[in-house]
Structure 1
Amino acid sequence: MPGPLTQLKVLDFSTLLPGPYATMLLADMGADVLRVEAPGRLDLTRVMPPLEDGVSTAHTFLNRGKRSLGLDLKKEGSADVIKRLVKDYDVVIEQFRPGVMDRLGIGYDTLKAINPNLIYCAITGYGQTGPYKDRAGHDINYLSLAGVSSHCGRKETGPPPLGIQVADVAGGSHHAVMGILAAVIHRQQTGEGQYIDISMTDAAFALNAMAGAACLAGGQEQKPESSLLNGGAFYDYYRTSDGRWLSVGSLEPQFSSRLCEALGLTELKSLAVSQNPDQQKTLKAALSERIAEESLSHWQAVFANADACVEPVLTISEAAEHPQLQARNMVVGVDRGDGTLQKQIGFPIKFEKTKPEAGWIGKKLGADNDDYL
């Protein structure tokens, strides 16, 4: 059966990561996504290395399954093209600063007058309201203002620059998809479209979850290496003799008991369940010393059949080859357009009946102009 969103048509004005990732997820689920991109305004993900056959792998991934319309929205007549197209679309998603779409003559009020059932989603760094609404920012800034960075990392070295864009993807992309699909359900029930305002800072602030609850309701501000889950206890990463890392998440007594037994540290079982910070430091020091004596492959063998919540820190290429991710089809081949396939990350949600498909890799800018102009 086709994907669950095959009846949904999306007009995508977004660039870089948050919006394109969101519309990629929608396209994977079957939505018909038309990406509108200005020929003279380069999207950096098109040229971001590494390149394959002269095309960025970031672009071919983020824009898979979408069609491409090259259109300079500042030129006379471009707004008329969008007004004609929007009659047949369910969703508009854009990522400009507040007011830009209005100045281009295709803001929400204008498009809603043409298509009253339209769902319009705007993704910005700080939202459509508030003193920061027009301020520039990136993922690291949103995480900082949202309080997330303040309790991550180490006391001595401070917050880490993360290898993934949490505010962009977990914040902007995922919350945008959630909001759009909720609005689709609302429209099915009432016939009404609506405007969705996604702030990546808002979403990042919401990701504080347990630490946020402890602070706002409990008056306890979480600092780096101060809690059970952020390095304040033995739940942590440990370096092996060959410079690799082992993750230890053996929080519950049954798991910590198996951890100590596997490491030959049975005398330290009582420390694992202790709330005493000094005892936790003693346990962490013992774990660090013991794990540093052997290689990562050694510990992988030791914990292969031990149900102790201990796993190796894998590289992306190693993760892609892991039997679990292979079994879950998390690496897929996506059509390059010439019958050959490019390896890409697969769709993470498994539907029983409506199987998502990756479609094709991101197209050249304006590849579908003849169909729409």
Structure 2
Amino acid sequence: MEQALEGIKVLDLTRVLAGPYCTMILADMGAEVIKVEEPVKGDDSRHFGPYVNGESAYFMSINRNKKSMTLNLKHEEAKAQLFKLVAQVDVIVENFKPGTMEKLGLGYDVLKEINPRLIYAATSGFGHTGPYSKRPAYDGVVQAMGGIMSITGQKGGKPTRVGPSVGDIMAGMFTSIGILGALRYRDLHGVGQKVDVAMLDCQVAVLENAISRYFVTGISPEPEGNRHASIVPFEPFDTYDGEIMLAVGNDNIWKKFCEVIEKPEWVDHEHFKTNPLRSKNYNVLRPMIAETLKVKPTSQWQFIFDEHGIPNGPINNIEMVVTDPQVNHREMIVEIDHPVAERIKVPGVPVKMSLSQGAVWKAAPLLGADTASVLMEMNDLTEADVELLRQKGAI
């Protein structure tokens, strides 16, 4: 099956998470991604645990489907090879602190002269403009500054960092979207452009109704625990033997919910019949629902709610997620063979396409595994040329 981005070549200068997550998305959809790493050390995330036979599981999870070559970007001969590669690729992605590429003589203004069709994508903490532009950032910093921590956690508790590194991951996702948009623009107009994505901007973009609530009320939202700020009931409840997540997203579902829990009198109750009323009277309604749901085990409630189309689910731990039949039917856990770590499992591709399905077809590369082949195939070097560059410290 042909993949959606087959034929697109990407030069990947990124490291750690935001940039590699972006290029992973592109690689999963068929782009040829050539990861450029620092000689000897490689991507920082190669040194993040846990390890399998000495290989970082962290690195392997987000660098599948890629090639790896090493270039010392401070070495003039390595830069000369990079320039040759830039002339042949469609996209270059980097997530250095703004100004770093310019100091190396590799900024967008230089590279677009070599390849006017080049899409130059840059992911950074605060973007390439603005008063914070030159500041370094990691996920925790932008989660804190972007407001998401202030609305996460138990009611009355301290601001809490979201478990996954959403500051990095959201930036990686938005960068991939920007690249796809720029490729489409190039299809229409024949020229590339710079895509500038800030982790902080992405956090602001995903605050959902927190910003609208602030502008409407003038009050900054605070953590609400597991409840939804404006939909009721929309949170976990204790059952006879555990917990169940319930999401009564509209008044029609509310009617069905009341019927199946044998509380028909709540359907048209003057305090509960609409979502605004349920939100207003949350402190009265919540304990009433809680008392009702305690009488049956979680599995029984799941069966009842599923039969009547009421959104619900168990609160799964990671072991439960990776063994879930729906998750596995959708191929969201896949096995691949790694030359050192051997058989490993990684998340699959979440975007399902009827004619050009992406796939995880290759394990993450060993450091510099493709240096010689890339330089020989794309830059017409010989084995002797490659060895000389290695001896000079350029690769």
TM-score normalised per structure 2: 0.85
What is the aligned-residue identity percentage?
A: 32
Alpha-carbon displacement from aligned partner over 1:182-216 (angstroms, at most 9, x marks no partner): 10011111111111110011111111233323434
**Which residue of structure 2 lines up, in the alignment, with residue 273 of structure 1?**
274
Pairwise CA distance, 1:292: 4.6
- Cα–Cα, structure 1 residues 147 and 119, in superposed 2: closer, same or farther, change >3 Å? same
> What is the rounded CA distance, in whole Å, between the counterparts of 1:131 and 1:121 in structure 2?
20
Q: Identify which range, 217-226 or 158-167, moves more after superposition.
A: 217-226
Residues 73 and 104 of structure 1 are in contact (CA less than 8 Å); yes or no, is this contact kept in structure 2?
yes
Counterpart residue number, 2:246: 248
Deviation at 1:27, TM superposition (A): 0.5
Q: 2:177 — aligned with what?
A: 178
Deviation at 1:140, TM superposition (A): 2.7
Instruction: Tell me, in whole angstroms, the C-alpha distance in 1 between the residues paired with 2:298 and 2:338.
Output: 37
Contact map agreement 1:268 1:283 (CA 8 A) in 2:
no
Deviations 1:198-238 (A, max 9, x none): 00111111112333234346756433339983377431122
1:166: Cα distance to partner?
1.7
> Which has the higher mean CA deviation after the structures are superposed, 45-54 or 124-133?
45-54
The residue type paired with residue 281 of structure 1 is N
Report deviation, 1:335: 3.4
Q: Is the 8 A contact 2:245 2:312 kept in 1?
A: yes
Partner of 1:222: 221
* Structure 2 match to 1:362: 364
3-state secondary structure, aligned to 2:308? coil
Distance 2:312 2:91 in 1: 43
User: In 2, distance between residues paired with 1:232 and 1:255?
Assistant: 12
What residue is the counterpart of 1:70 in the other structure? 70
Residue in 1 that maps onto 2:164: 164
* Alignment match, 2:351: 349
Query: Structure 1 counterpart of 2:257, which letter?
Result: L
Specify the SS of the correspondent of 1:61: helix
- Per the TM alignment, residue 16 of structure 1 is displaced from its structure 2 partner at its CA by 0.8
Is the CA contact (8 Å cut-off) linking 2:152 and 2:162 kept in structure 1? no
Instruction: Say which SS state the counterpart of residue 77 (structure 1) adopts.
Output: helix
Q: Distance in 1 between matches of 2:41 and 2:299?
A: 48
Counterpart position of 1:22: 22
Letter in 2 for 1:335: D
Q: Within 2, Cα distance between the matches of 1:295 and 1:19?
A: 44
Given that residues 69 and 368 in structure 1 are in contact (C-alpha distance below 8 angstroms), is that contact kept between their aligned partners in structure 2? yes
| CA spacing shift, 1:355–1:312, aligned 2, 3 Å | same
Aligned to 1:49: 49
Q: Is the 2:54–2:341 Cα contact (8 Å) retained in structure 1?
A: no
Aligned to 2:87, what secondary structure does the other structure show? helix
Larger Rg: 2
Q: What does the per-residue CA deviation read over 1:38-60, in whole Å, with 9 as the maximum and x for residues that have no partner?
A: 13445342232222222122211
| Residue number in structure 2 paired with 1:134 | 134
Aligned to 2:391: none
Q: Which moved more, 1:315-324 or 1:91-100?
A: 315-324
Measured after TM superposition, the shift of residue 103 of structure 1 is 1.3
Instruction: Choose from 333, 336, 349 the match for 1:334.
Output: 336
Q: Partners of 1:227 and 1:60 in 2: how far apart?
A: 32
Shift of 1:255: 1.8
Q: 2:324 corresponds to which letter in structure 1?
A: H
Structure 2 match to 1:196:
195
Provide the aligned length of Structure 1 versus Structure 2.
371
Deviation at 1:325, TM superposition (A): 2.2
* Structure 1: runs of 5+ lacking an equivalent: none
Where do residues 307-318 of structure 1 align in structure 2 (5 Å cutoff)? 307-318=309-320
For residues 42-94 of structure 1, what are the alpha-carbon distances to aligned partners after superposition, in whole Å with 9 as ceiling and x for unaligned? 53422322222221222112110000012222234221121121111110000
| 3-state SS of paired residue (1:88) | coil
CA spacing shift, 1:368–1:18, aligned 2, 3 Å:
same
Show CA shifts across 1:86-109 (max 9, x none). Answer: 111110000000111111222212
Moved more, 112-121 or 303-312: 303-312
Provide the rounded CA distance (Å) in 2 between the counterparts of 1:289 and 1:45: 48
Instruction: Tell me, yes or no, if the aligned pair for 2:261 and 2:292 is still in contact at 8 Å.
Output: yes
| Distance (whole Å) between structure 1 residues aligned to residue 190 and residue 88 of structure 2 | 15
Distance in 1, Cα, partners of 2:298 & 2:216: 41
The more displaced of 179-188 and 41-50 is 41-50
Runs of 5+ unmatched residues, structure 2: 376-385, 387-395
Contact 1:234/1:281, CA 8 A, preserved across alignment = no
Which stretch shows the higher mean deviation, 339-348 or 326-335?
339-348
Residue aligned with 2:74, SS: coil
Match of 2:276, SS?
A: coil
- C-alpha contact 2:154 2:225 (8 A) present in aligned 1: no
Distance 2:341 2:202 in 1: 39
Residue identity opposite 2:30 in structure 1:
G
**Structure 1 residues 138 and 265, CA, compared in 2 at 3 Å: closer, same or farther?**
farther
1:236 match: secondary structure: strand
Match of 1:104 in 2: 104
Q: For residues 305 and 320 of structure 1, what CA distance do their matches in structure 2 show?
A: 25
